[in-house]
Structure 1
Amino acid sequence: MPVGRVICGCGRTPNQLDIRHQVQIAASGGRILQQSAVIVCSDVNMLPAACCTLLSVKRNLTNADVEFLLLGIDLKPHEVAEVENFGRLHGMAIRVLPYETPDTGLQARGRWSAATLARLYMDRDIPDHIERLLYLDADVLAVAPVDELFTLDFQGKALAAVDDYVMAFPEKSGARQRKIGMGEGGRYFNAGVLLFDWSACRARGLFPRTREIFKERSHLFENNDQDALNVTFDGDWLVLDPRWNTQTGLLPFVDRPAIFHFTGRKKPWQANVPWVHRRMANRYADDLRNTPWASFCRQPSRTDRVAGFLSHVGKQIGGLTRLARMRAYFSNS
């Protein structure tokens, strides 16, 4: 194939990133270079937090040549421009991949909106040259170097992830796995931080398969796409150290967290920020200063702070047995 001719999969028109990749191939004498990307999915409601997520990864990368992608769910042109302006303000390029919620798309259950299922469609928009993909929820922040994730040996697996907190409770995790159709004795991951061997995912059609699984079994899924992904990748994922997805409940038991995942309904940018994440509130406020999203962060009042502390102490005292089981499991993971 002549170097000047660019071919993209799925009949897509080649974009600048695809063309840049062809130039890199030519410059390397035809040797294909592995390309990596970080992606978050967000509608307008979580857009400020999602941009802070990408920025936190950029700040914690040293040598990796990584692209930053945002799957923008039903975003308007001025909202896309705000994302791009945020990137320029912080010296990074964020590429928005437009995503429109399909009228006949998958239906979420419980407290999740249809937007939460967008990541099950992201295979349709990821540039063809991407071979390694780090997916992050929009309520995630990198707080330590993450270069290691972009050189990790997948050991033949298509995915690397961290156990969900539920794995500390065998009765509960076993019941969930049986209900959704997973094999006996497996492990169940949290889907807030997912490192994909994207080449393997593409070649094996793992995302179309996940969409089919969701259509067939969504009535069984309490955790929506997280359940569906666990069924698809059952037995085909590499277990990462909990520091790569330190969920809120795991924080006391994880040494040197690299990625915080603010699980639960209360987030650091809200006035009722959980006590354990109170210091992260300032990080969001600093990153969103001088943007149209400065008001996204709600400063807690003195009453809020006292209430948060008392709630934290109450949970520690009232959940000693639960905490002991989580400590026993995740301290040895």
Structure 2
Amino acid sequence: MSPTPALNYGAIACADANMLPAACCALLSIHNNLKAVNAKLLLLALGAEETQLQEIAAFAKRHSLTIDVLPDPTPRTDEPAFGRWSRATLARLYMELIVPGDIDRLLYIDADAVAVASLDELFQADLDGKALGAVDDYVMAFPEKIDRRQQRIGLKKGGRYFNAGVLLFDWKKSVEDGLIRKARETFEREPERFPSHDQDVLNIAYDGNWHRLDARYNAQTGILPFIEQPAIVHFTGRKKPWQAVMPWTHRRMKAFYCWALEGTTWASFCKASSLTDNMASFAGHYSTVLTTLPKIAKVRAHFH
């Protein structure tokens, strides 16, 4: 029996100029949490100018990384059909046009996510013959909401719906079967139909062809309290840990961003938090907890 050929792994983040520091930190966190796997780090830097390319290179050099910056394949968003959507929002739908063809497994990570534990098992996960591995979206804890979403976008009632912030692609299968292209074409036909834009159309394209990963690999803000050993923390919601008033549940992650960006031209991206800021974060968190206890119980039941 001939040996199984070694796979080529990649990890990709996409960001516009405002989120480049966060995207580079996401890629750094992946690199720092791999030992048995060697993954090529890819960055789709949307509309990046020469100064920004230099900043990316300086960040990579500081952390002894190689980050390959890919050309921007996204359409102009000032056209009528796409005016509502940012290029960063659309980027995942155009990755097949620029991701190197030798990649077998590709991990996509949102710029507002960070790896906090080993990812070797994730990259080598058995996808059970499926083209994608993903984690249930937070909305799956609320049957009435997911039913409405599935009805609106044309998915069958009772099926699963994944969050697109962390996606493990069998990349060659996805490309050969035209799944990314299908998602893109679905969006381009009716861009205003999908409230969660690219996440909705990716769920349509991969319907029945994705493997449910353990929630620890995409610990979204709302489910994080119920994940015992998160591997990737995803900062869903408006507040991020690099902001002055940050989500209280993510307060420990600020140190990572400050460390990663220290000594770079992006150092000010991570804002210092005053005592007043921390008090506001604390108060906001517990106010939300006290007013959403029934909702929290449903999330716990689904994800714990």
Same fold (TM over 0.5): yes
Aligned to 2:122: 149
Aligned to 2:206: 233
Displacement of 1:216 after TM fit? 2.4
**Residue type matched to 1:245 in 2?**
N
- The C-alpha deviation readout for 1:269-323, integer Å capped at 9, x for no partner, is 1111011111111110110001010011111221111111111111111110000
Displacement of 1:38 after TM fit? 0.2
Aligned to 2:256: 283
TM-score for the superposition, normalised by structure 2: 0.95
- The C-alpha deviation readout for 1:41-65, integer Å capped at 9, x for no partner, is 0111100000000000111001112
TM-score for the superposition, normalised by structure 1: 0.87
Displacement of 1:248 after TM fit? 0.4
Q: Structure 2 CA distance, aligned partners of 1:152 and 1:279? A: 28
Q: Structure 1 CA distance, aligned partners of 2:282 and 2:126? A: 41
The aligned runs of 1:9-88 (5 Å cut-off) are: 33-88=6-61
Which residue among 153, 170, 184 is the counterpart of 1:180? Answer: 153
Q: Structure 1 CA distance, aligned partners of 2:48 and 2:143? A: 41
- The C-alpha deviation readout for 1:65-124, integer Å capped at 9, x for no partner, is 210000110001221121122111101111100205423776264xx5232101111101
Q: Any stretches of 5+ residues in structure 1 without a counterpart?
A: 1-28
The aligned runs of 1:250-269 (5 Å cut-off) are: 250-269=223-242
Task: Say whether 1:221 aligns with 2:194.
Answer: yes
Aligned to 1:107: 82
User: Across the two proteins, how many residue pairs are aligned to each other?
Assistant: 301
Q: Structure 2 CA distance, aligned partners of 1:238 and 1:100? A: 28
Identical-residue share of aligned pairs (%): 51
**Residue type matched to 2:169 in 1?**
F
Displacement of 1:31 after TM fit? 8.2
Aligned to 1:95: 68
Query: What's the secondary structure of 1:184's corresponding residue?
Result: coil
Query: What's the secondary structure of 1:99's corresponding residue?
Result: coil
Which residue among 180, 192, 195 is the counterpart of 2:168? Answer: 195
| Contact 2:74–2:94 (CA under 8 A) maintained in structure 1 | no
| Contact 1:135–1:194 (CA under 8 A) maintained in structure 2 | yes
Q: Structure 1 CA distance, aligned partners of 2:294 and 2:3? A: 58
| Contact 1:246–1:260 (CA under 8 A) maintained in structure 2 | yes
Displacement of 1:33 after TM fit? 3.2
Displacement of 1:146 after TM fit? 0.4
Q: Quick one: structure 1 residues 162 and 30, their matched pair in 2 at CA, closer, same or farther if it must change by over 3 Å? A: closer
Displacement of 1:140 after TM fit? 0.5
Q: Any stretches of 5+ residues in structure 2 without a counterpart?
A: none
Displacement of 1:217 after TM fit? 3.0
Q: Structure 1 CA distance, aligned partners of 2:269 and 2:22? A: 9
Q: Structure 2 CA distance, aligned partners of 1:108 and 1:53? A: 28
| Contact 1:38–1:67 (CA under 8 A) maintained in structure 2 | yes
Q: Structure 2 CA distance, aligned partners of 1:329 and 1:88? A: 42
Query: What's the secondary structure of 1:102's corresponding residue?
Result: coil
Query: What's the secondary structure of 2:286's corresponding residue?
Result: helix
Aligned-pair RMSD on alpha carbons? 1.7
Task: Say whether 1:208 aligns with 2:181.
Answer: yes
| Contact 2:16–2:87 (CA under 8 A) maintained in structure 1 | no
Displacement of 1:154 after TM fit? 1.2
- The C-alpha deviation readout for 1:159-203, integer Å capped at 9, x for no partner, is 000000000000100110110011222101000000000010111
**Residue type matched to 2:44 in 1?**
L
- The C-alpha deviation readout for 1:245-287, integer Å capped at 9, x for no partner, is 0000111111100000000010011111011111111110110
Greater than 3 Å deviation, 4+ residue runs: 29-33
| Contact 1:108–1:117 (CA under 8 A) maintained in structure 2 | no
**Residue type matched to 1:107 in 2?**
F
Displacement of 1:215 after TM fit? 1.8
**Residue type matched to 2:82 in 1?**
Q
